Amino acid sequence: MMRRAAVGRASSNPQLPTAYDNGNGYGSPQNGYGGSKGRRNSGGSFGSNARMALWGASVLFFCTTLYYRSKANGWYGKLYPGSNSLPLEEQLREKTREYADVQKLLKESHGHYDVCEKDYYDVKAIMEDLRARLEEKKEKHEDLKDRSVDMWHDHEVTEHVEDRESAIWDRVHVLRKHIQREAHREVIERFGPGPHKVAIDVQVPYGDGNVKQFKAETIMMELAPLRLMPHAVHLFLEQIYHGLWNGCDFVINGIHVLQAGPGDDKQLEAFQHSQLDVLSFQEYHKEFPHEKYTVGFAGRPGGPDFYINKRDNTEYHGPYGQPGYDLEEEADPCFGRIVSGFDTLARLWTLPAMDDEAGFWLHEKVHISSMKILGPQPAPPLPDSNTVTNNGGSGGGAAMDEEYPHYAHHHEEMVQHQQTDQQGQQQQQGNFQQ
């Protein structure tokens, strides 16, 4: 094409020779280059073909470039949608906004990081505290483990002590049965099968002020059946038999009892010297409770003092009635019942006594002149070092018909009752011997 422009310009200038000017405008061979027409046609055809090939190659290259660029733009559009459709400034603003969002997210991430870091140290502190507590728990566990071994040892010791205690109580029960059996035998052999009657002669004061008169009156007592209270009945009969109650006194007039006992230390020593002061154990039977007018031994162990119940003391003097003692399940032995002399008792119950804090001691003691076993009398006790009486002589009993004629009309009834009870006592004696 450049060559065409040059040829055109040369043709327009009449002074320049043209290669193809032959007078008709198509040029002629008379020019500076020379040559025939055929050569000029042959050379021009080759150049034209070359130009056409170059032009076709350029077009093909341009189309190929456009095709692949179009493909590349399609791929870019798929990777970054809308990027090619936006102007450059808009893309820049979009990227700026994206950058700002990223900065914002980064700041938020830093904030979250700070929170997470704080939480991390808090959790770390909690873990350290838990670890320390775990170590403490481990130490306590080891300590408890050692103590559990000690406790197990203590448990074995406790079981051993309980077994020994159980064995000891078994021995105690055996001894109690043996004491009751021997007491039952002793009473049968010395005092008969019963029922056993006792007369208590007392000097009852009458009058007011300094002028008083004393009247001898008698209180009758019937002892409990041997099958119920053999040990307590035996002790009381032995005390009377040895004359230990002669010269003693009623000393306490409480709200619920009238109590008798040795009046001084000398009288108490007489009981102790005879080894008849206390019971071997607190004998009690639920069939003979502490009702009104019954008689029981006072103290732990019971004796030698006895009391007459002024009211029903079944609960207070029965099992678990006096929790101040070490063995609160024990009860006061109830071994007799008043059967006569109620007017005398009523008089004694009205006698003035000190207050509760002073122990209800009578202002004036009621003297017991004598205490005798009624009915068939045993042989008098042999004098020995262990037999001391409070009246200076041997103990003993009295024939009921001789010294207490007012009671003689009950003799026939008492004999019949004795025969009936004797059969039961003999049967019970056989049970005790078994």
Q: What is the rounded average pLDDT of the residues 343-352? A: 94
In total, the chain counts a number of residues equal to 434
For strand 294-297 and strand 249-253, is the pairing parallel, antiparallel, or unpaired?
unpaired
pLDDT tens-digit series, residues 288-341? 999 999 999 999 999 999 999 999 999 999 999 988 888 889 999 999 999 999
Is 259 part of any domain? yes
Is 217 part of any domain? yes
Is 5 part of any domain? no
Is 73 part of any domain? no
pLDDT at position 417 is 44
> Across 7-21, 103-117, 328-342, 379-393, which has the greatest mean pLDDT?
328-342
d(CA 319, CA 329): 5
Task: Supply 156's token pair.
Answer: 């074995």
Q: What residues make up the domain containing 256?
A: 195-374
Is 348 part of any domain? yes
Is 244 part of any domain? yes
CB 19 within 8 A of CB 27: yes
Q: How many CB atoms lie within 10 A of CB 299?
A: 16
Q: What is the CATH number of the domain that holds 369?
A: 2.40.100.10
Q: How many CB atoms lie within 10 A of CB 161?
A: 10
User: Percent of the chain beyond pLDDT 70?
Assistant: 71
Is 227 part of any domain? yes
The residue with greater pLDDT, 291 or 112, is 291
pLDDT at position 382 is 65
Q: What is the rounded average pLDDT of the residues 108-133? A: 83
Is 394 part of any domain? no
Asked whether the whole model's pTM tops 0.85, one would answer: no
Number of domains in the chain: 1
